[in-house]
Each structure stands twice: as structure tokens, then as C-alpha cells.
């Protein structure tokens, strides 16, 4: 295995990037320029909510998280695995990347179990139980670039809506057994900010202890907490490095001049 092939990059994109055609094109160009095996995981943006509103299908949110009933699951599959996923794949193909748009159900790549209804029933939401790393590695080493929609399956025919940050963490963890993996959570902010509206409060690096202290003192905004929780799980499970930052700054995130790097203080 040559040095380039020994490294792999897993990137999760989300937030407003997916809804901004120009910004998304810029991000996909940066992604296309990456050398070596790479995987892209995307979130759902606002399109699922917009479609639900058009179809007059009520949406229920509990503590900021969407409840996925049967009607909402149908919308999620149509939008996530359909419109968003195939638009990203077509964009990457135009930039010379032989991308394959998939979900966790394809090739039996990611299995999950439906989340327990206790204490809160989120409906058809899945928690990842297994990533078939050998199949994923085979795809990568055959020259394909997987683009994951945030959907998994339970092995019994049921599709499950699954958090894209969690899928990114689980994919990176699985690949770290074979590659030196860099995991990047990219979104519309510069990284971990103490004041979400002030880029000068960017933390260039953060340890688990610092994160827990900031969380306990409510000095970190709520939307960043699940990202950091998944990010620290990844680095604790063998992922080489984890970086959070603005999607359009991908080259700068990789060279260390921008974003927030996680420090694993064992």
C-alpha cells in the first residue's frame, strides 16, 4: 500500500451548505481535489421540512430532534436518498469523481436498530450497530467514492432515519482499522465558537475535558454538542484526527490553518 492509499478522508457536510447551490459546488470542488480514498456523508438540509409543508404533513420536534413517523420517513427517503444524494453525485461526476450515491441499506453497508421508544419515541430512527468495513474498503480500493445519505436499515426490511454525524463517526471508526483516517465535520461555522455569532471566539483546538467543562457551564451552543460528542467518540475509537470547521475552508482545515482540531487527552 503506497503512502497516498494508506490515508482516507471522511467528510460530513450539512447545515445550510446543502441548500446553497453555489456553496455546495465550491465544497464539492475542494472534495474532488482530495487525494486518496474518500467518503462523503451528507445531511438533509431543509428540503425535507419544505416538502412536508407542501404536502401538509405535520412535523413533530422534541428537544430539537425530528420525530420520524411513517409519512416523514417516506419524505426522508425521497429527499435524502433521492434529490439531495443524486444531486451531489452528479456534481461530483462533473468534477471527475466517480461517486456512488448510497444509503446504509445498499450493499448491506450500515445496519442499525430502531431506537427504543423509552423515554422518548422518535419513531423510525436508527442507532448504528454495524458498518460492513470490508465491503466499504473494497469499494474505495476499486476507485469508487461513496456518498452516503443519512439512512440505514435493520436487516429485516425496515429503513431507518439516522443522524448523519453519527454515520460519519461510525464510518470513520470502521475505516480506521485499515486506513489512517481524517474525519471532518464541515458546516457553515468556522469551527467551535464560544460565541456562535463571533468568529474571533474560535477555539483552534479542544480537549475532551475542555468540552465537558464548556458543556456543563453552557458556554457552547446546543447545536455543536452532538457534533462534538460524535467527534470525540471517533477519536477515542482510533480515528487519526478529527477537525470541525467551515465547509468552504476544506483545504485550510486540512493544513491546520483554520477550524477546530480535537485533542485526545487520554
| Digit-coded pLDDT (tens) for 77-133 | 999 999 999 999 999 999 999 999 999 999 999 999 999 999 999 999 999 999 999
Q: Which three cell numbers stand for residue 177?
A: 482499522
Cβ atoms of 149 and 103 within 8 Å: the answer is yes
* Closest alpha carbon to 127 in 116, 105, 142, 112: 112
Sheet holding 180-187, edge to edge: 99-102, 145-148, 38-42, 7-13, 180-187, 241-246, 260-263, 205-207
| Digit-coded pLDDT (tens) for 15-38 | 688 888 999 999 999 999 999 999
Domain span at residue 117 reads: 7-188
Residue 22 resides in a domain: yes
Number of domains, the chain: 1
Running DSSP on this structure, what letter comes out for residue 47? Answer: H
CATH code for the domain in which residue 21 is found: 3.40.1160.10
- Output the pTM of the full model: 0.93
Residue 199 resides in a domain: no
Residue 243 resides in a domain: no
Cβ atoms of 124 and 69 within 8 Å: the answer is yes
* CA–CA separation, 18 and 243 (whole Å): 19
Residue 130 resides in a domain: yes
* Closest alpha carbon to 227 in 167, 182, 168, 165: 165
Residue 253 resides in a domain: no
Residue 227 resides in a domain: no
Residue 11 resides in a domain: yes
**Above 80 in pLDDT, residue 231?**
yes
Amino acid at each position: 500500500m503506497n503512502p497516498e492509499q494508506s490515508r482516507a478522508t471522511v467528510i460530513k457536510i450539512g447545515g445550510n451548505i446543502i441548500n446553497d447551490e453555489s456553496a455546495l459546488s465550491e465544497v464539492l470542488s475542494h472534495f474532488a481535489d482530495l487525494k486518496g480514498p474518500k467518503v462523503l456523508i451528507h445531511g438533509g438540509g431543509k428540503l425535507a421540512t419544505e416538502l412536508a409543508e407542501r404536502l401538509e404533513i405535520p412535523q413533530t420536534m422534541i428537544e430539537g430532534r425530528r420525530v420520524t413517523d411513517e409519512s416523514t420517513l417516506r419524505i426522508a427517503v425521497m429527499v435524502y436518498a433521492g434529490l439531495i444524494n443524486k444531486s451531489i453525485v452528479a456534481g461530483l461526476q462533473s468534477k471527475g469523481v466517480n461517486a456512488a450515491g448510497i444509503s446504509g441499506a445498499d450493499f448491506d453497508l450500515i445496519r442499525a436498530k430502531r431506537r427504543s421508544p423509552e423515554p422518548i419515541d422518535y419513531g423510525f430512527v436508527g442507532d448504528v450497530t454495524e458498518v460492513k468495513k470490508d465491503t466499504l474498503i473494497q469499494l474505495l480500493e476499486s476507485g469508487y467514492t461513496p456518498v452516503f445519505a443519512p439512512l440505514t436499515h435493520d436487516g429485516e426490511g425496515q429503513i431507518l432515519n439516522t443522524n448523519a454525524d453519527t454515520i460519519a463517526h461510525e464510518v470513520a471508526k470502521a475505516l480506521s482499522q485499515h486506513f489512517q483516517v481524517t474525519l471532518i465535520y464541515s458546516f457553515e461555522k468556522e469551527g467551535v465558537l464560544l460565541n456562535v455569532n463571533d468568529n474571533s471566539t474560535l477555539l483552534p483546538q479542544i480537549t475532551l475535558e475542555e468540552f465537558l467543562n464548556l458543556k456543563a457551564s453552557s458556554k457552547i451552543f446546543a447545536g455543536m454538542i452532538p457534533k462534538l460528542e460524535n467527534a470525540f467518540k471517533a477519536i477515542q475509537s482510533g480515528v487519526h484526527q478529527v477537525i470541525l470547521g467551515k465547509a468552504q475552508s476544506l483545504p485550510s482545515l486540512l493544513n491546520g490553518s483554520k477550524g477546530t482540531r480535537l485533542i485526545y487527552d487520554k
